[in-house]
Amino acid sequence: MPQESLLSLSLRGPEGQQALHVLIRNLIVAGWVGRDRQTVQEHVEEMQRFGIPPPERTPTYMNLTTNLLTTSEILEVISPSTSGEVEAVLIRASQRFYLGLGSDHTDRELEKTDIPASKQVCGKVLSPEIWDYQEIEDHLDQLRLRSWVVSGQEERLYQEAHLAANLPPRQLYEDIPGGQELKDHSICLFCGTFPTISGIQYGDRYIIELEDPVLDRRIRHGYTVKILPQYL
């Protein structure tokens, strides 16, 4: 049986916040998920300029170990060549869907030769706060994702786009390869990112945000990158 990971989250709704403990059996990262094929091609070209090979098909789905999931504000990595990317995160548990916010932190040097490995060697940051998917499904495309990269005292806007730029999270979930058996279990699905504003950048800290202008609320989470020395 696959390893399961317990997430302690906070579900925010009209009546406030309540603790939610979710046991995740499958962690899946989707990529190249743009609705507009030209935008997908631009992202492919951005990655190619960085030495990262194009995918054989789009969208892609990568199956990772659930122990990578973390809500910590400190992310330990083993390489200076890692960076984050903001994504909507769909969680299915106990036959209900939730939407959260995450960063698919990735080793960019390793990504040039082995994309799944570049994902597997970095933790997957998840916001502690999530929303009930039913509360936002009717205005999903109006949600906006942003990320900032911090280097020293400088903070720069790194990514910004409406969720409408990508395929809907529920569609990505329904299209997961592997049949219904996989979907019958609890899943945490990272729903893909979009091109950066000025190319891939490394930083000391990343800040991610999901804004809902209709219900006037937002999820915001930040984490500091700590590089572990490989030899002592």
- Please give the Cα distance from 22 to 5 (Å, whole number): 8
pLDDT digits (tens, 9 = 90+) for 89-110: 999 998 899 999 999 999 999 9
Rounded CA separation 121/62 (Å): 13
Per-residue pLDDT for 1 more than 60?
no
Average pLDDT over residues 160-178: 94
State the pTM of this model.
Answer: 0.93
Counting residues of the chain whose pLDDT is more than 70, the rounded percentage is 99
Averaged pLDDT of the chain: 92
pLDDT of residue 170: 95
What sign results for the dihedral spanned by CA atoms 29, 200, 122, 149?
negative
Q: Residue 2: pLDDT above 70? A: no
- The beta strand positions in the chain, using DSSP E, are 5-13, 16-24, 26-31, 60-64, 69-70, 74-77, 82-83, 86-93, 96-104, 106-107, 124-126, 129-132, 144-151, 154-162, 187-190, 205-212, 217-227
| 38 contact partners, CB below 8 Å, separation of at least 6 | none
pLDDT higher than 90, residue 57: no
What domains can be seen in the chain, in order of their start residue? 19-227 (3.90.850.10)
